[in-house]
Amino acid sequence: MPQLTWLVTGCSSGLGQTFIHGILSRGDKAIATARGDISRIAALEESGAKIYSLDVRASAADIKKTMSRIISENGEIDVLINNAGYIEAAIAEEASIDSYLDQFDINFFGVIKVTQAILPHFRERKSGSIVFLGSSGGISREPGAGPYCATKHALEEWYECLKQETAHLNIKPMIFELGFFRTNIMHPDNVKFRTKYEIADYDDIRNLVSQFVQGMNQNQPGDPKKAVEIVLDVVKGEGIAEGKAVPERLPLGADCLTTMRKEAVANLAMCNEWDGVILSTNVDFGVTVTISSV
């Protein structure tokens, strides 16, 4: 396959850095971005990547300006990996509105702004791949992670719309559902606990969530390097993905696979048990229904 140029957001740590090293190891070109001072990702430049400051929280106009600069200085971009993100952990009722707004600003609206900024380039070329990183939390629910799960579920549906809208342009969005992988995302400095107040009724759940986050940090079962290699294979259609059709969504990690299967089985069981009730809402044949305004 010809050499590709990849643009990755959120490269100051974790999966972002792993993606850059994996891309470079395959002989492809990598563009690493991070918010703020790019000295934080200087090591990636030393490894061979181009580096830029790109804050997904910036305005759509500023992000488009940065994207135009990146394209003009690097030529064609083949793949965008929307990697930037973090976790807001809080009980749904206790979470401050600011925590919801901040979580959506990065995990959802940031993804939209960066994707919209690169789409004109992909449309002009009639080519391009867009990688979204979903989560088991976007498929099912995790107590104590309402803001995070909400953003990931929203991303699922936005991806589905984009995929249908861009198919005729040979633009290929794809989403990978990640379980728990051993990065620093669960580090106490990265998981945000922000509440407007604490409600005694939730003390036990809140304590369990806190214990879970602390216990999971650096004990996640997934190997990020293995996940990254699979993503790169799927995007390039080589290695484990050679000759295979790209799936609608691909879970990565045994925990995420279990979650997806459990959700699918539960939904199917509900549909089978309640199908008569569900279908009973159809308009009866031969009956005219008049809807009047009040």
List per-residue pLDDT tens for the chain, 294 residues long.
Answer: 789 999 999 999 889 999 999 999 999 999 999 999 999 999 999 999 999 999 999 999 999 999 999 999 999 999 999 999 988 888 999 998 999 999 999 999 999 999 999 999 999 999 999 999 999 888 887 888 899 999 999 999 999 999 999 999 999 999 999 988 887 777 777 777 777 778 999 999 988 988 888 887 878 878 999 999 999 999 999 999 999 998 889 999 999 999 999 999 999 999 999 999 999 999 887 766 566 655
Cα dihedral value 153, 154, 158, 159, nearest 10: -30
Cβ(130)–Cβ(80) below 8 Å: yes
At residue 190, the pLDDT reads 75
At residue 61, the pLDDT reads 98
At residue 53, the pLDDT reads 97
Q: Write out the chain in H/E/C secondary structure.
A: CCCCEEEECCCCCHHHHHHHHHHHHCCCEEEEEECCCHHHHHHHHHCCCEEEECCCCCCHHHHHHHHHHHHHHHCCCCEEEECCCCEECECCCCECHHHHHHHHHHHCHHHHHHHHHHHHHHHHHCCEEEEEEEEHHHHCCCCCEHHHHHHHHHHHHHHHHHHHHHHHHCEEEEEEEECCECCHHHCCCCEECCECCCCHHHHHHHHHHHHHHHHHCCCCCECHHHHHHHHHHHHHCCHHHCCCCCCCEEEECHHHHHHHHHHHHHHHHHHHHHHHHHHCCCCCCCCCCCCCCC
Task: Parse the chain into domains and list their residue ranges.
Answer: 5-252
At residue 288, the pLDDT reads 64
- Residue type at position 2: P
Question: Which CATH number describes the domain made up of 5-252?
Answer: 3.40.50.720
Question: Residue 190 to residues 8, 57, 184, 193: CA-CA distances in angstroms?
Answer: 19, 17, 7, 10
